[in-house]
Amino acid sequence: RRGMERQSGRPALDLTGQTGERCAMSEVESRESAVGRPDLDVGRRRERRMEVGARYGLRRLVGALLLVAVGIVALAPAASAEGADDPWGPLEIAGRRVATGETARFFLDVARTSGRGSRILDIFLVVTRGTRPGPTLCLTGGVHGDELNGIEIAHRVYAGTSAAELTGTLIALPAVNMAGLSSGSRYLPDRRDLNRGFPGNPDGSLAGRIAYTLYEGVVRHCNALIDLHTGSSFRANLPQIRTDLESPPALALARSFGVGVVLHGRGPEGSLRRAALDAGIPSVIYEAGEPLRFQENEIALGVRGIRNVMADMGMIDAEAKPRPSQVFRKTLWVRAGAATGVFFPKKSLGDEVRAGDVLGTVTDPVDERFTEIVAPADGRLIGMAVPQIVLPGYGLFHLGIDPQ
């Protein structure tokens, strides 16, 4: 800088904060002074500065454009290759990353949410991520710990599903109520019904906490939900689907299952299917058989129904073969009335009955009083109690009426 000041007769530029034009001008003027040329007049100096500045600015602009072009060319193949390698992408669910073409088996961390140190409540989860993009179907079984058919249905479906041949994602939770399953109980250890706790509460009861973990961690990933159940309290259910018939997507899901009987019902407040339906997720409940036992016919029909749904959704390369469905918008319970004693049915699940038909009998072994249980209306038996001792008011037969 001191040398340039002596040669040019003016202060040198501070190169840390000046434009390219002024830097180039100072360099030229310093060079002219150094060789002994007289100073140019004011007009020529101005023209000289503009000429040099223009050339310098043009060189910088061309250089910048070349750098941008080289960057685009270099990045384009990488971006293209990345999209080609994995256009479908992995699934992030319940704190785990499941890659395309992978079947992952792990536990949903209920213990952490509920505040317990034990792992007895954690829910086994199987996620099969297909190699092609598609919908996500969720299966839940064992929400009631004594309802076993759904556990085996879910198991057979995920065990027989290949990730390499699957379009979309299958998420299966075969035994949601792990504590109830281990003790043979319908309920949770605090005697609450988990299927009255959805969508859950992270600061609520044990049922609310488990329901919240399941709902937020899994259910929100679903495009459709099938909840697997059986009858309860020593009752058996004819294989049937229950859902909100006012929801076209839910009705389509029910018909594609194809068990032959569809009932109208959003489900009680707090039930899993109702919470899912309220969130806009088409959901159905499959009811079949009795609690506390595995029944092959009901299990096989459930597996076939889920395969029908998967085929209808385009998840598997198979032909859906649902049976035509008989739809009941109304049902009623036939109760024991004032009768007490030993109950024996005279009709079977699925029977068509007429008003006045004798459905069963109750005999009091103390005074030998004999009571016939009579159908109050025409309909079909979709549920009934197994032989047992009953008390007044006990629900004995579930009758579907006014079929569509």
DSSP string, 34-72: HTTPPPPPHHHHHHHHHHHHHHHHHHHHHHHHHHHHHHH
How many CB atoms within 10 Å of residue 96?
15
pLDDT score for 121: 83
The structure tokens listed for 363 are 């005999």
pLDDT (average), residues 3-7: 43
Q: What is the widest separation between alpha-carbon atoms in the chain? A: 139
Question: Where in 244-394 does DSSP place strands (E)?
Answer: 261-264, 283-289, 326-335, 341-345, 352-353, 358-363, 370-374, 379-385, 388-390
pLDDT (average), residues 203-228: 95
- CA angle in degrees (0–180, nearest 5) for 343-347-348: 105
What type of residue is 204? G
- Lowest mean pLDDT of 113-117, 233-237, 302-306, name the range: 113-117
Those residues with Cβ within 8 angstroms of residue 128's Cβ, 6 or more apart along the chain or in another chain? 102, 103, 158, 161, 163, 166, 169, 170, 171, 172
pLDDT (average), residues 216-228: 96
Q: What are phi and psi for residue 226, nearest 5 degrees?
A: -120, 115
pLDDT band of residue 111 (cuts 50, 70, 90) is: low
pLDDT band of residue 166 (cuts 50, 70, 90) is: very high
pLDDT score for 404: 84
Element (H, E) at 280: none
pLDDT score for 116: 54
In this structure, is the dihedral angle defined by the CA atoms of residues 17, 20, 22 and 28, taken in order, positive or negative? positive
Confidence check: pLDDT of 81 > 60:
no
For strands 283-289 and 235-243, give the pairing. Answer: antiparallel
* Three-state secondary structure call for residue 400: strand
Confidence check: pLDDT of 179 > 60:
yes
pTM for this entry: 0.78
- Lowest mean pLDDT of 94-98, 116-120, 320-324, name the range: 116-120
The structure tokens listed for 64 are 């910048």
- My answer on whether omega of the bond before 77 falls inside 30° of 0, hence cis, is no
Confidence check: pLDDT of 263 > 70:
yes
Confidence check: pLDDT of 229 > 70:
yes
pLDDT score for 51: 52
Rg (CA), the chain: 37
- Lowest mean pLDDT of 28-42, 241-255, 360-374, name the range: 28-42
pLDDT band of residue 62 (cuts 50, 70, 90) is: very low
Q: Under a CB-based contact definition with an 8 Å cutoff, are residues 201 and 214 in contact?
A: no
More confident residue, 74 or 271: 271
Q: Name residue, tokens 């310093």.
A: 30
Pairwise CA distance, residues 394 & 219, whole Å: 35
